[in-house]
Chain A
Amino acid sequence: MELVQMQKSLQDYTKSLFLDGVLDSQFLQLQQLQDESNPDFVSQVVTLFFQDSDRILNDLSLSLDQQVVDFKKVDPHVHQLKGSSSSIGAQRVKNACVVFRSFCEQQNVEGCHRCLQQVKKEYYLVKNRLETLFKLEQQIVASGGMIPAMELGF
């Protein structure tokens, strides 16, 4: 594929992530933070996010499967996930977490289960998309190209 074309498709793809609400402007913040001194910053953060989130989701599933759900344990996890997702701009995960927390507050087990599913769904969506995004970036870099900077402002 032509480099220019690849760059164009990366840009389009990224844009679509924003348009779909998968990511929000916070992700641009991360991209802004990435520079020569820290070329892999975004992927590092996101990778950390994935690791962290996988663990949290796992813990959450376990906690919610208990006979008696200890919401004191559940809530911090959700809070954590909400903070992380908010920091990387995984907007839809964050929003799902907000709802999740409100169910935690109500101690609504059933609602929590539903929310967990929703959070997982959104998480796997963003994970998948971001991995694709990184793959595209890698291809571009491998072809000796530059990652086009996302313009702010949409």
Chain B
Amino acid sequence: MVCEMETDQTEEMEIEVLSSMWPEDVGTQADNQFNVEKPAGDSDTLKEVDIAEKRTMADLKRLPELMNTTDQGTSQLTNLVKQWEYMQDHAVKLLREELKILTKQREEAEAKELKIIEEHNFESQEPENVPVLDDTSHLFRRFKHKKRDALIGSKRVEIEEEFDTVAYWKQKALSLEKMLEASTERERRLIEKLNESLKTMESHSAPVEELTQNLKRAEGFLHFILQNAPIVMGHQDKDLRYLFIYNKFPTLREQDILGKTDVEIFHGGGVKESEDFKREVLEKGKASKREITFETELFGSKTFLIYVEPVYNKAREKIGINYMGMEVTDQVRKREKMAKLREDNAVRKAMESELNKTIHITEETMRAKQMLATMSHEIRSPLSGVVGMAEILSTTKLDKEQRQLLTVMMSSGDLVLQLINDILDLSKVESGVMRLEATKFRPREVVKHVLQTAAASLKKDLTLEGNITDEVPIEVVGDVLRIRQILTNLISNAIKFTHEGKVGIKLKVISEPSFASGMELNADAEEQNGLTETETSVWIRCDVYDTGIGIPGKNRTRRPISYKKALPCLFKKYMQASADHARKYGGTGLGLAICKQLVELMGGQLTVTSQVNAGSTFTFILPYKVATSDDHSDDQDFSDMVDHHQPEPDDTTEGYFQFKPLLGSIYSNGGPVIGNNNFLPHKVMLTSPLKLVNGFVAEPSNNTGQSETTQVENNGYMDETCSGPCLSKETESCSSSQASSEGGALEMESELTVSSRREEENTETSKQPKILLVEDNKINIMVAKSMMKQLGYTFDIANNGVEAINAIKDSSYDLVLMDVCMPVLDGLKATRLIRSYEESGNWDAAIEAGVDIKILENEQACVHSTNRLPIIAMTANTLAESSEECYANGMDSFISKPVTLQKLKECLRQYLD
């Protein structure tokens, strides 16, 4: 029955690929997969399949019909028939051959008979028998002839009697009789054989039987192959109604499927698609394959690879389709998994490369920043040389034009220096190198000092005021250096853009701002600030206000403001400068960016409000720890120093300060000392923004006694130490120091004894200055020594900070060259301690810091001095040892390593000549 080819179709369901396609538990009944075979629960076995018998089944009825009407259907039958015919032909051929042989034998026998008859004419009656036989059957006759031939051939009748005697005839008759008997016997046997043969032929002639056998075999084979395959097959008619199905879903009964369409049988995803697909195939008349995922209640989600081909009848009309489906759910799943993996992989790779790119960019950026920092550092040294020389030049006799040129040159140089310092500051903050320190300080003093400093260099008729509310603690803990930096920056900014009116600082305590609560940054910052949660902290709001030109809210203004754009841009780096405004007001555009970064680093917030032509207010809010009396403080900060210069105890609590410009006053000393000096000792390095602020031209500072009102920038070293005493109330101490100072603010000494020694030195140049070299590296010492020698100096050596402190304690030096990075006590700390000593007159801070100092009380008393000892750092060119750090720790200048003769010479000149 060839049912295999034709088909039917089943459906799309299935099961696990490897076991049966349908779940086993569903198919518990002994359903045969050939639905054809299971007529109503009949459990027939394959062997019993007989087309004829099965005609009872609905589908079977149509099967022969189908087979008869379709080419495919008939082809198999045709084959079988052909095969059978061939076999029959073969049998016929064999029989014919046999017949031929027999015929031949008969002919021979006849020939012999003829001969005998000729020989014995009289015997002619004998053959009469033959015709009788012949009549009955041609075959019989043939056999008879044959027999006769044989007889004749084998037995010649031998007669011993005389011919024609009685005896002779008798004898002959006898023998002939015998022969006849034998012949008869043979005949009989042949007939038997013939009968047998006939029977065999009969059996051969039943083709139906044979075909049935073949079909059974084919069917058995197909069943054997297909019974476990995850394959459904079916045939559907033109309306896509099932006519046959093989390996259907077990729970469906025949009647559930046959005569119905997919859509009628199944529900769920994919059913419609498969139906459409079948229809499409039917319409196009072209076999095709498609993968369809079914999502049915019956068997869940399964994917089938479906093959559909159209079926034609002999008239080439479409009569339906054959359908074959193989379940490929697992394969599809694997494939999809694979695709997904591949996709993931690709995505990951893309991300990786993206990440790499980012890392690369970050590295590049870091490198660029580092490079910028390094370059800036490197540029600074020669540049400060240039500026310094220009300043020296400005003290010589110049005509007006030259002086103007020189002024431009110096201010440009200052600008570049400031820019470089700002860059270094920024890169420090950004690279996270900037570390905050927690020191105890007095906010009032810091404010006062900042204002004093600003007032000292004020060229305009402005009032500077400070206003601190009472609830602001007297002492708080924070990074006073940075706070001062911010304040001075803001103040100088305010002054810069204010032409009349006032500039001031207001401090008050506020409650914790909303931005700070729960902010991690803040916690970090507090930690950095040395604050811990348990300690009381206080938020202080600091307003720096002015009555200046203001900042336009939107960038539409044509006002002469340096902020090219609106407020939002204010804190961006380099945002300030339009060329015009930069020229008019100076500055690098980095100052506010630095302030903002610093404030944020400390966990605070910097904001600004402004009104054009009315003024601006910069506000920063910072958390501080409230200092307790037993606070450790191993270093005295600047405010403390200021304090030591301020005898009035009220200062600690005073809440209001006001400074008016002291026009033409304090620095008009016309110091004789400077008169005989070619160099104006002065600003050596204009580096830290802190000092820069201080470094505004001290108006009218014609301290060299020159007739012209030269604007010598008398900045650099006139920060805390000098400006404190010089300004405001302390006029006496100021005047005394002016007398002794070697021009400028290098050393504002209040002790006349010391200064007189210095004057002496200045006049008698032969006298050797005392220099202390603090350096741990023997080779460096050796080299430095040799250089000093060539420059005509000698020096003492200390190998680390502690030795340096002890040396300074024991004798007075004119200059210290201090390595930064040293064992035991590094140069920065040592410098801080020395400065603290200068301010306080005692080594308490050093002792507190654990420096082993041998002091006799009385000895200390007599050495007590407030000289500011010039300390020059020797720095390796690294971020960690940046010049900011040096300045911040109280050093006056720096020489970058390796030290060269030229650098050393310049430096010593500046400080010693």
Q: Which of A60-118 contact B (CB under 8 A)?
A: 76, 79-80, 82-84, 86-89
Interface centre among B782, B787, B897, B901 (most CB of A within 10 A): B782
The verdict on A87 contacting B823 (CB below 8 Å), with A32-B901, A52-B778, A80-B777 known, is no
Chain B residues in 8 Å Cβ range of A44: 782
Chain B residues in 8 Å Cβ range of A41: 786
Q: How far is the CB of A90 from chain B (nearest CB, A)?
A: 10
Chain A residues in 8 Å Cβ range of B778: 48, 52, 84
Q: In the assembly, what is the distance between CA of A11 and CA of B790, in Å?
A: 24
Q: In the assembly, what is the distance between CA of A84 and CA of B823, in Å?
A: 15
Chain A residues in 8 Å Cβ range of B901: 29, 32-33
Report whether A87 and B790 are in contact in the complex, using a CB–CB cutoff of 8 Å: no
Q: In the assembly, what is the distance between CA of A33 and CA of B786, in Å?
A: 6
Chain B residues in 8 Å Cβ range of A52: 778-779
Report whether A29 and B821 are in contact in the complex, using a CB–CB cutoff of 8 Å: no
Chain A residues in 8 Å Cβ range of B786: 30, 33, 38, 41, 45
Give which listed residue, B777, B823, B900, contacts A29 with CB less than 8 A.
B900
Is A14's beta carbon under 8 Å from chain B? Answer: no
Q: In the assembly, what is the distance between CA of A84 and CA of B899, in Å?
A: 11
Q: How far is the CB of A146 from chain B (nearest CB, A)?
A: 20
Is B780's beta carbon under 8 Å from chain A? Answer: yes
Is A13's beta carbon under 8 Å from chain B? Answer: no
Q: In the assembly, what is the distance between CA of A37 and CA of B789, in Å?
A: 10
Chain A residues in 8 Å Cβ range of B899: 87
Complex: chain A residue closest to B776, CB-CB: A80
Complex: chain B residue closest to A28, CB-CB: B900
Give which listed residue, B821, B876, B898, contacts A89 with CB less than 8 A.
B898
User: Would you give the 0/1 interface string for A39-58, flagging 1 where the beta carbon is closer than 8 Å to chain B?
Assistant: 00100110011001000000
Chain A residues in 8 Å Cβ range of B821: 79
Complex: chain B residue closest to A33, CB-CB: B786
Complex: chain B residue closest to A75, CB-CB: B821
Q: How far is the CB of A61 from chain B (nearest CB, A)?
A: 20
Chain B residues in 8 Å Cβ range of A139: none
Interface centre among A26, A41, A86 (most CB of B within 10 A): A86
Report whether B782 and A86 are in contact in the complex, using a CB–CB cutoff of 8 Å: no
Complex: chain A residue closest to B902, CB-CB: A29
Q: How far is the CB of B209 from chain A (nearest CB, A)?
A: 89
Classify chain B's interface size.
Answer: 10 to 19
Chain B residues in 8 Å Cβ range of A80: 776-777
Report whether B898 and A87 are in contact in the complex, using a CB–CB cutoff of 8 Å: yes
The verdict on A83 contacting B897 (CB below 8 Å), with A33-B787, A33-B790, A76-B823 known, is yes
User: Would you give the 0/1 interface string for B767-811, flagging 1 where the beta carbon is closer than 8 Å to chain A?
Assistant: 000000000111110110011011000000000000000000000
Q: Which of B290-334 contact A (CB under 8 A)?
A: none
Q: In the assembly, what is the distance between CA of A79 and CA of B881, in Å?
A: 12
Chain B residues in 8 Å Cβ range of A83: 777, 779-780, 876, 897
Report whether A45 and B782 are in contact in the complex, using a CB–CB cutoff of 8 Å: yes
Q: Which of B596-628 contact A (CB under 8 A)?
A: none
Q: In the assembly, what is the distance between CA of A87 and CA of B777, in Å?
A: 10
Report whether B777 and A30 are in contact in the complex, using a CB–CB cutoff of 8 Å: no
Report whether B790 and A86 are in contact in the complex, using a CB–CB cutoff of 8 Å: no
Chain B residues in 8 Å Cβ range of A87: 777, 779-780, 783, 897-899
Report whether B783 and A33 are in contact in the complex, using a CB–CB cutoff of 8 Å: yes
Q: How far is the CB of A23 from chain B (nearest CB, A)?
A: 12
- A-B contacts counted at CB < 8 A amount to 62
Chain A residues in 8 Å Cβ range of B783: 29-30, 33, 45, 87-88
> In terms of DSSP, what is the predominant structure of the interface of chain A?
helix
Complex: chain A residue closest to B823, CB-CB: A76
Q: Which of B406-445 contact A (CB under 8 A)?
A: none
Report whether A26 and B898 are in contact in the complex, using a CB–CB cutoff of 8 Å: yes
The verdict on A82 contacting B779 (CB below 8 Å), with A29-B900, A32-B901, A89-B898 known, is no
Chain A residues in 8 Å Cβ range of B779: 45, 48-49, 52, 83-84, 87-88
The verdict on A48 contacting B777 (CB below 8 Å), with A26-B900, A83-B897 known, is no
Q: How far is the CB of B819 from chain A (nearest CB, A)?
A: 8
Q: How far is the CB of A119 from chain B (nearest CB, A)?
A: 16
Chain A residues in 8 Å Cβ range of B898: 26, 29, 86-87, 89
Report whether A84 and B780 are in contact in the complex, using a CB–CB cutoff of 8 Å: yes
Interface centre among B779, B787, B821 (most CB of A within 10 A): B779
Complex: chain B residue closest to A89, CB-CB: B898
Chain B residues in 8 Å Cβ range of A45: 779, 782-783, 786
Chain A residues in 8 Å Cβ range of B776: 80
Q: How far is the CB of B817 from chain A (nearest CB, A)?
A: 14
Q: How far is the CB of B28 from chain A (nearest CB, A)?
A: 68
Complex: chain B residue closest to A88, CB-CB: B779
Complex: chain A residue closest to B779, CB-CB: A84
Report whether A86 and B897 are in contact in the complex, using a CB–CB cutoff of 8 Å: yes
Complex: chain B residue closest to A42, CB-CB: B786
Complex: chain B residue closest to A49, CB-CB: B779
Complex: chain B residue closest to A34, CB-CB: B786
Complex: chain B residue closest to A51, CB-CB: B778
Chain A residues in 8 Å Cβ range of B897: 83, 86-87
Chain B residues in 8 Å Cβ range of A32: 790, 901
Q: Which of A17-38 contact B (CB under 8 A)?
A: 25-26, 29-30, 32-33, 35, 37-38
Q: How far is the CB of B367 from chain A (nearest CB, A)?
A: 12
Q: In the assembly, what is the distance between CA of A84 and CA of B786, in Å?
A: 15
Q: How far is the CB of B678 from chain A (nearest CB, A)?
A: 25
Complex: chain B residue closest to A94, CB-CB: B898
Q: In the assembly, what is the distance between CA of A88 and CA of B783, in Å?
A: 8
Q: In the assembly, what is the distance between CA of A79 and CA of B875, in Å?
A: 12
The verdict on A48 contacting B900 (CB below 8 Å), with A33-B790, A80-B777, A84-B777 known, is no
Complex: chain A residue closest to B819, CB-CB: A83
User: Would you give the 0/1 interface string for B242-258, flagging 1 where the beta carbon is closer than 8 Å to chain A?
Assistant: 00000000000000000
User: Would you give the 0/1 interface string for B861-902, flagging 1 where the beta carbon is closer than 8 Å to chain A?
Assistant: 000000000000000100000000000000000000111110
Q: How far is the CB of A93 from chain B (nearest CB, A)?
A: 12
Q: How far is the CB of A59 from chain B (nearest CB, A)?
A: 14
Complex: chain A residue closest to B788, CB-CB: A33
Complex: chain A residue closest to B874, CB-CB: A83
Q: How far is the CB of B757 from chain A (nearest CB, A)?
A: 30
Chain B residues in 8 Å Cβ range of A49: 779
Chain B residues in 8 Å Cβ range of A33: 783, 786-787, 789-790, 901
The verdict on A82 contacting B790 (CB below 8 Å), with A29-B900, A45-B783 known, is no
Chain B residues in 8 Å Cβ range of A76: 823
Q: How far is the CB of B748 from chain A (nearest CB, A)?
A: 34
Chain B residues in 8 Å Cβ range of A79: 821, 876
Q: How far is the CB of B576 from chain A (nearest CB, A)?
A: 35
Q: In the assembly, what is the distance between CA of A52 and CA of B776, in Å?
A: 12
Q: In the assembly, what is the distance between CA of A38 and CA of B783, in Å?
A: 12
Other A-B pairs, 18, CB within 8 Å; known A33-B790, A44-B782:
A29-B898, A29-B901, A30-B786, A33-B787, A37-B789, A38-B789, A45-B779, A45-B783, A76-B823, A79-B876, A80-B777, A82-B876, A83-B779, A83-B780, A84-B778, A84-B780, A86-B898, A87-B897
- 14 A-B pairs (CB sep. < 8 Å): A29-B900, A33-B787, A35-B790, A37-B789, A41-B786, A44-B782, A45-B782, A52-B779, A82-B876, A84-B779, A86-B898, A87-B897, A87-B898, A87-B899
The 9 closest A-B pairs by CB, nearest first: A33-B786, A84-B779, A83-B777, A86-B898, A26-B898, A87-B780, A87-B783, A87-B779, A87-B898
Q: Residues of A with Cβ closer than 8 Å to B?
A: 25-26, 29-30, 32-33, 35, 37-38, 41, 44-45, 48-49, 52, 76, 79-80, 82-84, 86-89
